[in-house]
Structure 1
Amino acid sequence: MKKATFTQGYDLTPEGDQTLVSFRSDGISWAGYIVFPLIFTGLSTLFGTPFWPLPLVLILGVGYLIYLMFQRQTFTLTPDGIIKNGAEYERDKISEVLIDNPMDKEVTISGGPSMIIGGTGAAGASMAVMGAMANATTSAALGANMAIARSSAKRRFRVRIRYGSKVVTLGRNLKRDRAIAIFDLLTQE
């Protein structure tokens, strides 16, 4: 029988009376590994044109965003509160710890009924086929978009604290289980 691996979802490093909490972001969804190479390939065709700086800037910008999605995140627990980005938030003034997901919303797609105009003969039949193909392409694109959004939403959970009227993000780009583990750490007495 194989022993199960125990993973907390974060690392704790004691530093005197403080504890550094560190964890990795969960990165990008499977869709990113498909979509980003296609975008980069498409943009690379502009390198031989007068617009060559545009794809270079876009590729570098998107590359930096992807780099940030895999970075280690930290915050510090103190006896009196939480330190994040050099600011200390007093424990007594933290009204709640919450987990949210900015992409976890119901997606509503609406549209009018499609009308396919056709007639007798070759011209009418080809118009009917073109209308049906356009409708099928639109449906496929909407379905793919919804699948990518659902996949991305699985890695977009955030752990946040409410400090007065301000909401402070302690961790972002997390899978649900890692976010719950950090939430449990913050809400234990």
Structure 2
Amino acid sequence: MNTKARFDQGYDVQHDGDRQIVTWQGDGLSWVAYVILPLGLLGLLPLSLTAFWFVPVILIGGLSFLVYLSFQSQSLTLTPTVIIKGGQEYDLAKISEFLIDNPMDKEVSVVAPPGMIIGGTGIAGASLAATGLMANAASSAVLAGSMAISRAAAKRRFRVRMRYGARVVTLARNLKQDRAIALFDLLTRT
């Protein structure tokens, strides 16, 4: 027995006369953030017992606001002649292009000077060589972890933007690629 596939266009459209009010939710945080944020907050706990108790409070408040922004509902209004976003009207005739970009998805190049391991004979030389190898392996692991976190976060950072004269105006942010493409398709059909 076949079941009907669920159709999700990635946004909701409400018609109000000749206006279309388009709303959607931000796609939130990547799974890595749910691992990193609690560990970071645990690292701040010792500061809360000192005279610098206000630092964790400010950081937790700031991070909470950033998490809220990544999930918040966003909207714009389409009419036959303008796009309305954030109280500003943009004439459709003056929009030269719509684009999708991702500020975190850039080519990453890692540059490091050639390493040198110094060693010698005997127990002291062997321990010095082992220490150098372990330091090199640890820095490589940290670099690989950082790149993995960046790639995971980039999956939910797509933006839909438009070029309006010399400005680039962001219409949607904190999206997965599929939702960004759906909004892009809606805007280019208008």
Do Structure 1 and Structure 2 share a fold, with TM-score over 0.5?
A: yes
Partner of 2:59: 58
Q: Percent of counterpart pairs with the same letter?
A: 59
Deviation sequence 1:23-70 (CA, Å, 0-9, x none): 011111111111111111101210110111011101110111001100
Partner of 1:134: 135
What is the CA-CA distance between 1:2 and the residue it aligns to? 2.6
Matched, 1:158 2:159: yes
What is the CA-CA distance between 1:143 and the residue it aligns to? 0.4
What is the CA-CA distance between 1:3 and the residue it aligns to? 2.1
Partner of 1:169: 170
Partner of 2:186: 185
Partner of 1:92: 93
Map 1:59-74 onto structure 2 (within 5 A): 59-74=60-75
1:130 is paired with a residue whose SS is: helix
What is the CA-CA distance between 1:170 and the residue it aligns to? 0.7
1:110 is paired with a residue whose SS is: coil
Note the residue ranges of structure 1 that are not aligned, 5 or more in a row: none
TM-score, normalization: structure 2?
Answer: 0.97
1:4 is paired with a residue whose SS is: coil
Note the residue ranges of structure 2 that are not aligned, 5 or more in a row: none
2:78 is paired with a residue whose SS is: strand
The ranges of structure 1 where at least 4 consecutive aligned residues each deviate by more than 3 angstroms after the TM superposition are none
Partner of 2:107: 106
Partner of 1:143: 144
**Structure-2 separation of matches of 1:135 and 1:89:** 53
Give the aligned residue type for 1:181: A
**Structure-1 separation of matches of 2:94 and 2:131:** 62
Partner of 2:19: 18
**Structure-1 separation of matches of 2:90 and 2:47:** 48
Give the aligned residue type for 2:141: A
**Structure-1 separation of matches of 2:53 and 2:127:** 40
What is the CA-CA distance between 1:110 and the residue it aligns to? 0.6
**Structure-2 separation of matches of 1:2 and 1:115:** 62
TM-score, normalization: structure 1?
Answer: 0.97
**Structure-2 separation of matches of 1:178 and 1:44:** 37
1:82 is paired with a residue whose SS is: strand
**Structure-2 separation of matches of 1:111 and 1:56:** 37
2:105 is paired with a residue whose SS is: coil
Give the aligned residue type for 2:54: P
Partner of 1:115: 116
1:159 is paired with a residue whose SS is: strand
What is the CA-CA distance between 1:121 and the residue it aligns to? 1.7
When the two structures are aligned, how many residues end up with a matched partner?
189
**Structure-2 separation of matches of 1:80 and 1:17:** 10
**Structure-2 separation of matches of 1:45 and 1:4:** 51
